[in-house]
Every structure is written in structure tokens, then in C-alpha cells.
Amino acid sequence: MRKVSFPYVGNATITFQKLMKALGNDVVLPKRPTEETLSLGTKYAPEFACLPFKIVLGTYIEALEAGADTLVSTGGVGPCRAGLYTTLHEKILKSLGYEFEMITLEPPGRHLRDLVASIKKLVNRKLSIADYFRLGRFVWKELQLLDKAEKLSHKIRPLEVKKGETTRTYKKCAELIAKAQNYRDLVEIEREIELLYEKIEKKDVDPIKIGIVGEIYVVIEPAANLEIEEMLGDLGVYAERSMFLASYTFYNAVMDLFRMPGERDVKKLAAPYFKEMCGGHGRESVGNAILFAKRGFDGVIQLSPFTCIPEIVAKSILPKVCAEYDIGFLPVTLDEQTGKEGLRTRVEAFVDLLAAKRKKRKGDVVYGTLPGY
């Protein structure tokens, strides 16, 4: 029986663990990335590799040390280097003396045969067509429910009366979802989650609204972005990110398989500014920033790993886009040198400027507001 591990991706790690076990594998559960994880990855990664590459490499080393003999990750297409990261991770790890098999799950629209072959390697028990259907239905529902619980936490945290209550509720929701064994459990848990959030005492305020765009890993994984969404919520800001795992999987795997254009509106909005596909999520960062502006958001934060080419391209376009749509813009570049308190200082200043701009629009006198914010 294989001992499988995979990159840590927020609370979705819960679902991946259940999926791998249901397919007949032992699972070496990856730990939430820590400073030690990043330090390990930085030690063995090429100097100019991006932050996600280093975090994932460190996670793999920890998993292999814990007994994993199979590593599973996703591939990619286009100019972004991320499509080749599993190959490079494998070379680095084997040069360090680790013995394992790397299984790469490629996008189905372009590598369907390779994807099916990879999945077959992970199926180590007899399953009927009905079993596959039930498993797929359960996994999809759980991913959607994890995203729903997180979205509700972002919506309610800036309104909470008792500081920290939303974060505690979200953790309780994740624990409930982790205990689910079947689809019926998830349906019942969904109702319970809604009730838990309804019980939180809320203020009647209209919070500053900030959209978060950028590279998928640093947008989705709190350990990579220094928990910026929670940070913003504690400042009384409603933060909404442009990507969640369930919707991203649907657009970039399911729709890709049937040759259907995913995220059509986002790419269409970005087209006047971003005419060429440069890989990664650069074009989506521009399109989503415009969507946030059209929805009346006060500002946009772009999260990008240091040396990420698609986000560097997007970063050169976003100031013009945000100026045209009269929305604040804060670029945040993340690497192993980025500190949480330094980030907090920048975010607090950005929020203050957005609040001052909103007051100015309402006709209040505000002193010290910088032009362009």
C-alpha cells in the first residue's frame, strides 16, 4: 500500500486526505507550513525560485522524513514555471537521497491520457462505478462547504462585536467538516455552519471592502500570505479573494476538459490591458481587479511571490487599471524575508487611506490623504 502525501493547501488538506484514503492509500498528512518548512525549502531550492516552490519543497521533505513513499501534485500549462515544478522538485529530492514516486496530475483538457494513468496509480482498492460517483460527489460537496465556511468568516469577521469569535467559529466549522463521513453528514453540517455564524453578534456598519487577487497558492494558503485575510478582518475590513479551490477546480479542470472557456468574464475584462496569455494567473489578476471595482470595492491587494513572472506583468498593468476605475491598489510581494508585522503596517496604512478617501467622497473634510488613493 502506498504512503501518499501532497502539498498543504489550507483546510482542503482535510478533503485530500479522505480522498486518498478512500482510494486505498495510507496518508502521511502534510503539516501546516511553518518557518522551519520554509527554511528547509529555501535551503535546497534554487535562489530565485518563488515562495510556493520553496514552501512545497519544504513540505515534501517533512513528508518524506515522516515515511511517505509517494508524492502527488498538480502540473500546468503555459509559460508559467509552475508547470515544471514537480519535475524540479523530484530532481532536487532524489539528489538528496530520498526514494519515492512523484505523481503529477496534469490538466485534463490537454493531458487527459496522462491524468487517467496517474489516477490509476493512486487507486489501490476495488471500486465500482457507483463508488466513484459517491466519492466524487462527497469530495466536491466537502470542498464547496469548506469554501462556504471560509467565505462566511470573511464576511462576518469585520462585523463581529466580540473580537476573535468569527475565527473560533470558523475553526469549529472546519472541525465539523473534518468529521463528516458521507454526503448526508455534509448536508446536516451545512445547516449547522449557517446557524453558528448567525449566532455571532454583529455591528451594523458598512466596512471598507478590499478584493484580493494574485497567484493562486499565496492567495489561498494563509501560511503563505501571513494570514492577510484574518488581518484585514480584524481591522474591520471585508476582504474577498478572487480564487477559492472548488471554483478554481471547476473552471480549470472540469470546464477545461470539455473545452469550455473558464472565467470568461474575467478574461474578457482584462483583454484591453492584457492581450497575451503569460501563464499563471496574471490575466485573471487584472480582470478580477476590474470586477471588484465594478462591484464597488474600495481597494485591491495583489499578492505575488517574488520572481513570479505572470504577477510581475500584472503588477505593471494594475496601477493604470485601478487609477482608471478609481480604486486603491496595494501590491504585496511575498518571499522568505517578508515579515508579518511589516505587512501589517503596510495594510493598516492602506486601509486608513481607503477610509479617508471614502469620507472625502461623502463630503467630509480629511487631512493628509495622499493623491491617487
**Per-residue confidence in pLDDT tens, the chain, 373 aa:** 899 999 999 889 999 999 999 999 999 999 999 999 999 999 999 988 999 999 999 999 999 999 999 999 987 766 677 778 899 999 999 999 999 999 998 877 667 788 889 999 999 999 999 999 999 999 999 999 999 999 999 999 999 999 999 999 999 999 999 999 999 999 999 999 999 999 999 999 999 999 999 999 999 999 999 999 999 999 999 999 999 888 777 766 666 555 565 556 788 899 999 887 777 888 999 999 999 999 999 999 999 999 998 999 999 999 999 999 999 999 999 999 999 999 999 999 999 999 999 988 877 544 434 434 4
DSSP 8-state code for residue 182: S
Dihedral class, residue 97 (left if φ above 0, else alpha if ψ from -120 to 50, else beta): left
For the chain, what are the domain ranges?
3-122, 129-204, 206-373
Q: Measured at the alpha carbon of residue 351, what is the angle toward residues 345 and 353, in degrees to the nearest 5? A: 105
What CATH class has 206-373?
alpha beta
Contact indicator for 225, 216 with CB cutoff of 8 Å: no
Contact indicator for 244, 8 with CB cutoff of 8 Å: no
Query: Would you state the pLDDT for residue 112?
Result: 79
Greatest Cα pair distance in the chain: 70
Give the model confidence (pLDDT) of 246-271 as tens digits. 877 776 666 655 556 555 678 889 99
C-alpha cell, 270: 482584462
Cα→Cα distances 203→159, 160, 161, Å: 5, 6, 6
C-alpha cell, 144: 464547496
79: how many CB neighbours lie within 10 A of its CB? Answer: 14
Strands 208-214 and 26-27: unpaired
Architecture of the domain made up of 3-122: 3-Layer(aba) Sandwich (3.40)
Query: Would you state the pLDDT for residue 366?
Result: 43
Question: Of all helices (H) and strands (E), which one includes residue 237?
Answer: strand 237-241
C-alpha cell, 181: 463521513
277: how many CB neighbours lie within 10 A of its CB? Answer: 14
3-122 and 206-373 agree in CATH topology: yes
Measured in degrees and rounded to the nearest 5, phi and psi for residue 214 equal 140, -165
Q: For the stretch 185-195, what's the b/e string if a residue is b when 16 or more beta carbons lie within 10 angstroms of its beta carbon?
A: bbeebbeebee
9's CB contacts (< 8 A; 6+ apart) are 16, 217, 220, 221, 245
Cα→Cα distances 51→12, 72, 130, Å: 20, 19, 40
116: how many CB neighbours lie within 10 A of its CB? Answer: 10
**Residue for cell digits 499578492?**
303
Query: Would you state the pLDDT for residue 369?
Result: 41
